[in-house]
Structure formats: C-alpha cells, structure tokens
A = this chain, B = another copy of it.
Amino acid sequence: MVTENRRRRVTITDVANHAQVSTTAVSKVLRNAYGVSEAMRAKVQAAIDELGYRPHAAARAMRGRTFTIGVLLPHIRNPFFADILDGLTEQIGPAGYQAIMVQAGGTDPKEERRAVDALVDRQVDGILTIAPALAKAELEEIGGGTPTVVLGRHDRSAVYDSVLDDDEVGAELVVEHLIALGHRRIAHITQADDGRGRATALLQTIRARTYERVMTEHGLADHIALAVTSYTEEGGYEGAKRLLARTPRPTAIFAGADQAAYGTLAAVHEAGLTVPGDISVAGYDNARISRLAHISLTSVDQDGAIMGRTAGRLLLERIEGRTSAVRFSVTPTLVTRRSTAPPAGAS
C-alpha cells in the first residue's frame, strides 16, 4: 500500500470534536434523523463545511445505507442506455444518491451474475438491471436481498419492480409500417437467448414473436425469415448477410435494435444494394445516431429518460420500505425516416 504522505481522512469524530458535540449528534444531522434541534444542525453543519468532511461510504455500509444505486449494464456501447442513465441520475441525485455502473460483459448469464454480486458485495441500496439475461429465479433472489428494478423484461414478479416499453406495440408498428408500404418479404434479425428455460420474458423474444404474429395475420406466414444473431453491429451484419443470400431476397429487414440495423446497413451496402431502393431497413430504440441524415433510420422510439427516472423513483420508494411490486410500461412510437420506402416495383 502506498502510504507516502497520505493524510488521514476527516472522520465523523473530527467533526464531533470540532463542533463540541457527540458523534451521534453528527450522525443524526448527516442522516436527517429525528431528534436534532435547529441550533445543533447549524453548528454541526458549520463544522462539516469547515473541515470539508465527507461521510465514508464504506463505513456507512457496515451499519446503514450507502446512498448508492448499482446499475447493471450489458455493455456501454448501446447509446440508448445513456438516456436511461441520465433519467436515473436526474431522479436519485437530489435525494443524495449516487449511481455506479458495472458492465455485465455480454449476454453470458454467469458473467451477469458475477457483476450483480459485485454490486451486492458493495452493499448498494438498490439495483437497476438493464435487459438482464439472468433466469427469473436469480433475479428474484437478488430482489429478495436488495431493492431491485428490472428494466426491459416482461416477467411479472412479486419481489422486484419492472420498467419496460411495450415491445409488442413497437414491433407491431414496424411490421405494419413495412406491410403498408407494400412489402411482403419482410425479414427479422433477433438476438439469441442463451437461457436454458422459457425466454418469453425477454424483449427480443417479444419482438420476434410479434413479428411472426403480424406477418401471419396478414397472410404472410410463408415469408417469415428469421436470422438469430445478436443485437450488435456484428450481429446485424452477419444476420443481414444470411438474409440477403436467400432466394427470393427479402425486400425489407426489421432489425430488433438500432445497433443491429447499422450492421445491416453495412451488409446491404456491401452487397451492392441500396437503401431503401433495394432493401428497406428499420430498427428499434431510436438512438441518436439513427437521426443523422446519413443514416436516417426508421426506428421505434422509447423514451429512455422517462424509463430511467421511473426506475429511480421506484428504487427510492422500495428503499423507503415499499414491498408491493410495481410494473411501469411505456408505449413506444414509430419514427419513419428515409431508410424505409415502398419496394421496387410497387405502385
């Protein structure tokens, strides 16, 4: 350990001495606890300011709260997560809470579990998991130990809260849009679930099933074409290459996420085809980059900021003692841009 001229931290005892009161009194002021006179509060606050005292979160964790919310991200490449995080921070910051993030490292449930455990070991007061691939039983175990909000899954649970967008509505919007444009050979790129059990709760499953349902409802069951890769650029590229190799070729590709749509655009271009001339492409998430003129991707917009804010509010409520489970759903909207158009040869 480097101990050069590392000066000692200011502790609650220093503050207590300086203000001529007990550490208990200081602690009460810090926590806004009951039983503190206005004079006491002022005196202690003055000492805190004077000494530049900050509570030691690790010490707090031994007895009380850490005022920390842990966020589990699958990775930090998806710009949509940034909106969620901004909403979360906006909500919990004023209450004195700090968000810390850990990367789950892909879609491996083992890695994800390790990452959640890292948060639990650090004694966070609440956990927000974003689109976790974990089994529901594991999520419930986590939720049983720490207030938890799960974002982006359609499970219903009694021990944790859910925040999600209505993926069924979103996927329907896209497929109906493409069909309305005149497309019939519409393909879909989805993400594999490496779960061992039923994955009906995963958003990629909902999006894929809805695609199949809407196609079927329109009598297009024979044109269903799925590529099961992943919601990444690589996945979109790989999936599109496979779909484009089919005969007859699809005239539209609905990628389950914008990230995958970017890869799709690259594959289409590489195949010497144009968007939307030869192939229409649509995504899901409405990431900022999708708005750029050069990409101009038709996509489904879900309000990440609201989802993040809500997740924060639900966590604070649970930390304060709520035990009933809540489910909050956002209705998405379709944003049509230049990446989708009627198929060649349509009227």
Contact = CB atoms under 8 A, between A and B. Distances in A.
**Copy count, this protein chain:** 2
A122 B119 CA distance: 12
Interface string A274-291: 010000000000001101
A262 interface: yes
Interface string A51-81: 0001111110110011010000001110101
B265 A292 contact: yes
A294 B321 contact: no
A225 interface: no
Contacts of A61: 58-59, 61
Contacts of A75: 82
B269 A294 contact: yes
A266 interface: yes
B318 A292 contact: no
Contact of A266 (B270, B275, B292): B292
A123 B57 contact: yes
Contact of A121 (B56, B77, B323): B56
Interface of A: 1-2, 4-7, 54-59, 61-62, 65-66, 68, 75-77, 79, 81-82, 85, 89, 98-103, 105, 117-118, 121-123, 144-145, 147, 233, 262-263, 265-266, 269-270, 275, 288-289, 291-295, 318-319, 321, 323
Contacts of A321: 1-2
Contacts of A65: 1
A98 B293 CA distance: 39
A293 B268 CA distance: 9
B2 A121 contact: no
Contacts of A262: 289, 292, 294
Nearest to A6: B145
A59 B56 contact: no
11 contacts: A4-B144, A54-B117, A68-B122, A76-B101, A101-B101, A101-B103, A262-B289, A266-B291, A270-B293, A294-B294, A294-B295
